Structure 1
Amino acid sequence: MTTPGGPEYIDAEIVEAVSSPDFTPTVHAPSAAEVTGYTDSGVPTFDFVRDKIEHRTATADGGQFLAESGQEAAAIDEAMAARDDAAKRKLDEIRKSMGL
């Protein structure tokens, strides 16, 4: 805003500087138990044991799935081979009937 013949004035509020609170991030270093899965006295932690059991269960489930899918795949391969043989015999029969 300007006044006639005078200096330019800005309509603003003066604010005092406010010091910001301390926002120092806290750094959490992992303990030996978190890194190794064992306490200082050599006892495994609950999380370590749970993870180990879950891993073994998943491995067993995966092995069973692969074994079952292998049997299914073998059955499908046998069925496809039987179908191909039947198709080949039928084609030979058609050719013979046509005199080729």
Structure 2
Amino acid sequence: MSTPGSSSPDASTPDQPTDTPTGQSSDPSAAATSRDDEIFDAEIVSPGTPIPPTPGDPHLPGAQYTDAGVPTFDFVRDKIENRIATAIGSEELAHESAEGRQVDEMIRKRDEAAKKKLDEIRKSMGQG
């Protein structure tokens, strides 16, 4: 309960701070006016006007795509060649690293052990 002369916690006084940052008005029409003053540079295009493709944009028809949106043979070939070159380069780098040499050694040892085991099996079957 509130005592006479005291204000309730819900009552707002003009001395209390507002939620708006300093220097800005809490009036929404003032904010709209300031946005209306901004200048935008735009071109109005009628709905029937086709938009030309952006060069190099893979999502729009361009030099790499036909008008139907199908990739050209040259584009697909170049993409495949790039992937092959990347794979070969990655493999060469992997073999040059310490981990790559370690893996190569493990594979060599496993192949030798498999060959010895196969020779033992062949001898036990009398095919040796």
TM range, normalised to the smaller chain? 0.3 to 0.5
Q: TM-score, normalised by structure 2?
A: 0.29
Higher helix share: 1
Which protein is bigger by CA-based radius of gyration?
1
